[in-house]
Amino acid sequence: MPVPLSVWNTAPTSAPAQRKGRYLSGSTAHPAKMLPRIAAHAISTYTRPGDLVLDPMCGIGTTLVEAIHLGRSALGVEYEPKWANLARLNATSATHEGGTGTGAVHCGDARRLTQLIPAALHGEVDLVVTSPPYGPSVHGQVRSSRETGERGVVKKDFRYSHDPANLAHVSTDRLLEAFTGILAQCRLMLRPGGTAVVTTRPWRERGELIDLPSAVLAAGRAAGLIPTERCVALLAGIRDGQLISRPSFFQMKNVRDARRQGIPLSVVQHEDVLVFTRPQNRPDCGTASSRCATGAARTPHAACTLRSRTCTTGRPHGHR
């Protein structure tokens, strides 16, 4: 059955305008931030106030900041201490700016998500919003020769770090293998029927198309999640029925360079948004019959390790 497709109008204003006054200035240095309106749209669409949102690769904490402003609780995991600290500061700032939600950030490897997130929250997450690291060529800030004293345009802030264990630095195959494992752990974090939203983009490597969205779709399926929607989150604005493109300097440069070599590249105007659902009923867990969110009787299930934990959280059962 074909999955429903919808278009999210997520760039009525530019990325800097969306972050202005909401994110600390150091946030600009992160090479691959999510557009705030994408996170906000996902959170408003798939959760209610008071729900719990998780981002296992949270960068500067966009998911957390937007969740806090929308009155949700948010958890983030980030591998790099530098970005984890910034995510914490951005989350704190969101609460000071009037956000009524809460946020907590754990610094660590999302491949060990179940060890990093307190056991009491396993099976309690309503929504995962995340984006794997990919396609570094289009990221970065521009410095002119006037600022640097060097010849020509200089690229800066295009790396997450120099740590080879950061998944941004591994091959696409290894990234997908690791991301499948991360999604499988996200499934255990989600309540039955909970949603996972993953944003990705395709890119080209030496002219060859790397279709990351299709690969992430397969990764989600392999992780035991059900694809339920495939959406388009616009990076371009809409004016008088026309798309208003806002490409970065390096996107334009990549496209021009590719076209000079005869590769018919276009400026990307959207992120692919893949939406998955945690099945209600998994035979390896038996949560659907026993877990409180279904409204069914809370009978313990011997094979379900989540069972006893979800009932000790103090969070309202059947809160959906």
Ligand X SMILES: C[S@@+](CC[C@H](N)C(=O)[O-])C[C@H]1O[C@@H](n2cnc3c(N)ncnc32)[C@H](O)[C@@H]1O
Q: Is 90 in the site for ligand X (CB under 6 A)?
A: no
Cβ pair 119, 111 in contact under 8 A: no
Least distance in angstroms from the C-beta of 208 to ligand X: 21
Least distance in angstroms from the C-beta of 182 to ligand X: 7
Closest to ligand X by CB, 162 vs 206, is 162
Q: Which stretch binds ligand X (CB under 6 A): 31-39, 141-149, 273-281, 301-309?
A: 31-39
How many residues touch ligand X under the rule CB under 6 A: the total is 23
Taking CB under 6 A as the criterion, the residue among 102, 166, 245, 280 binding ligand X is: 166
Q: Which stretch binds ligand X (CB under 6 A): 160-168, 207-215, 280-288, 310-318?
A: 160-168
Q: Is 60 in the site for ligand X (CB under 6 A)?
A: yes
Strand (E) or helix (H) holding 155: strand 154-156
Q: Is 135 in the site for ligand X (CB under 6 A)?
A: no
Closest to ligand X by CB, 77 vs 292, is 77
Which among 178, 213, 302, 61 has a CA at the least distance from the CA of 186? 178
Residue 132 and residue 216: Cα distance in Å, rounded? Answer: 9
* Residue bearing tokens 């276009």: 266
Q: Is 38 in the site for ligand X (CB under 6 A)?
A: no
Q: What is the 3-state secondary structure (H, E, C) of 209-277?
A: EECHHHHHHHHHHHCCCEEEEEEEEECCEEECCEEECCCCHHHHHHHHHHHHCCCCCCCCCEEEEEEEE
DSSP-derived pairing of the beta strands 270-277 and 190-200:
antiparallel
Angle of CA points 136, 140, 145, to nearest 5°:
135
Strand (E) or helix (H) holding 75: strand 73-78
Taking CB under 6 A as the criterion, the residue among 8, 23, 79, 203 binding ligand X is: 79
Least distance in angstroms from the C-beta of 202 to ligand X: 15
Least distance in angstroms from the C-beta of 8 to ligand X: 16
Least distance in angstroms from the C-beta of 43 to ligand X: 13
Which residue of this chain has its Cβ atom nearest to ligand X in the complex? 59
64 to 5, 60, 222, 252, 312: CA distances (angstroms): 26, 9, 27, 30, 24
Taking CB under 6 A as the criterion, the residue among 8, 23, 46, 83 binding ligand X is: 83
Which among 165, 29, 157, 148 has a CA at the least distance from the CA of 85? 29
Taking CB under 6 A as the criterion, the residue among 10, 47, 62, 73 binding ligand X is: 62
Q: Where are the alpha helices (DSSP H) in 108-190?
A: 113-116, 145-148, 172-189
Closest to ligand X by CB, 79 vs 254, is 79
- Burial class, 49, CB count within 10 angstroms (exposed 0-12 / middle 13-18 / buried 19+): exposed
Taking CB under 6 A as the criterion, the residue among 34, 54, 74, 268 binding ligand X is: 34
Cβ pair 313, 293 in contact under 8 A: no
Helix (H, G, I), strand (E, B) or coil at 112: helix
Q: Is 285 in the site for ligand X (CB under 6 A)?
A: no
Q: Is 196 in the site for ligand X (CB under 6 A)?
A: no
Least distance in angstroms from the C-beta of 76 to ligand X: 9
Q: Is 133 in the site for ligand X (CB under 6 A)?
A: yes
Taking CB under 6 A as the criterion, the residue among 11, 127, 167, 306 binding ligand X is: 167
Q: Is 64 in the site for ligand X (CB under 6 A)?
A: no
Q: Is 111 in the site for ligand X (CB under 6 A)?
A: yes
Q: Binding residues for ligand X, per CB under 6 A?
A: 30, 32-34, 57-60, 62, 77-80, 83, 109-111, 131, 133, 160, 166-168
